[in-house]
């Protein structure tokens, strides 16, 4: 399809992708401020930094699950991540212009979500240690952050592909993704800040002007997920890949595989000639 025709036909899915990552970033900003801002009562009540990180992980995992299984998330496929979209494009399951507009929407939506939290919370969200929920290398340095981002991204995409293409496990793909998000934030965040998502990292870095290490969060997640896609192709073959959605609902269209829900049956007339 030509880009203008694609945009005219598929704009609802693009807007949903922006909305979904925007909501994710709003949730991330609110919970990071609640638990990490030194002036927050929750921060004062929970002195253990590890416990606070686990609670943020649980909140973000549940946020991801809610977005993936939401009616809108089921319509777009709930990628919320350029690396996921590009991996499905590489696998031939997302058209080129759809991939382009998905990525644009993800960057825009995520950034607007961060700006919304900044407008709402101001300095409590912008100042260290919250720092707009930015993803930054930990004390182990840049190499460790890069390798960690690569590894967690590879595993996430691998799980998504294995689960979503299995009749038995497909309904639980979003649950698996959310559990991984929660686990990674709880355990891996000290290494890289836990991103797996170029748009998510850009959304925090741009308003804060934190450009120095942004390349890590552009390169490592994309490379990791593309490697997972190549590995899946090598092990299972292209014919085993069904669709680019994390949840393929039967009541909404799919712009990726061309599925259209069956038309609703006309209501039967009642005894008086009306509609029951």
Residue 245 · residue 74 · CB < 8 Å: yes
pLDDT at 266: 45
pLDDT of residue 237: 87
pLDDT of residue 276: 39
Query: With 90 as the cut, is the pLDDT of residue 162 above it?
Result: yes
Please choose, from the candidates 251, 262, 274, the residue with its C-alpha nearest in 3D space to the C-alpha of residue 75.
251
Q: Residue 265: pLDDT above 80?
A: no
pLDDT at position 2: 83
**If phi over 0 gives left and psi between -120 and 50 gives alpha, with beta otherwise, what is residue 245?**
beta
Give the CA angle between residues 165, 66, 49 to the nearest 5°: 110
Predicted confidence (pLDDT) per residue in 57-98, tens digit: 999 999 999 999 999 999 999 999 999 999 999 999 999 999
Query: Cβ(246)–Cβ(164) under 8 Å?
Result: yes
pLDDT, averaged across the chain? 94
pLDDT in tens, 95-143: 999 999 999 999 999 999 999 999 999 999 999 999 999 999 999 999 9
Encoded tokens for 58: 């649980």
**How much is the pTM?**
0.93
Structure tokens at 186: 């709880």
| Whole-number Å distance between alpha carbons of 81 and 110 | 10
Size (the chain), residues = 276
Q: What is the set of domains in the chain, with CATH numbers?
A: 10-240 (1.20.1080.10)
């Amino acid at each position: 399809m030509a880009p203008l025709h694609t945009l005219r036909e598929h704009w609802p899915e693009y807007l949903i992708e922006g909305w979904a990552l925007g909501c994710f970033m709003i949730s991330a900003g609110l919970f990071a401020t609640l638990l990490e801002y030194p002036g927050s009562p929750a921060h004062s009540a929970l002195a253990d930094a590890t416990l606070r990180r686990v609670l943020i992980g649980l909140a973000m995992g549940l946020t991801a699950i809610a977005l993936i299984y939401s009616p809108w998330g089921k319509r777009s496929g709930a990628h919320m991540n350029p690396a996921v979209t590009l991996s499905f494009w590489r696998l031939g399951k997302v058209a080129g212009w759809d991939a382009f507009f998905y990525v644009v929407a993800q960057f825009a939506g995520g950034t607007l979500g961060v700006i919304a939290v900044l407008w709402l919370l101001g300095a409590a969200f912008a100042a260290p240690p919250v720092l707009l929920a930015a993803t930054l290398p930990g004390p182990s340095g840049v190499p460790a952050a890069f390798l960690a981002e690569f590894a967690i991204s590879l595993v996430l995409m691998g799980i998504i592909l294995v689960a979503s293409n299995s009749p038995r496990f497909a309904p639980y793909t979003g649950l698996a993704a959310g559990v991984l998000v929660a686990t990674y934030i709880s355990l891996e965040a000290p290494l890289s800040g836990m991103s797996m998502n170029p748009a998510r990292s850009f959304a925090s870095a741009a308003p804060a002007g934190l450009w120095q290490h942004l390349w890590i969060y552009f390169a490592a997640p994309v490379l990791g997920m593309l490697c997972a896609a190549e590995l899946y192709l090598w092990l299972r073959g292209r014919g085993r890949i069904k669709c680019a959605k994390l949840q393929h609902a039967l009541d909404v269209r799919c712009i990726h595989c061309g599925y259209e829900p069956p038309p609703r049956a006309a209501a039967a007339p009642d005894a008086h000639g009306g509609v029951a």
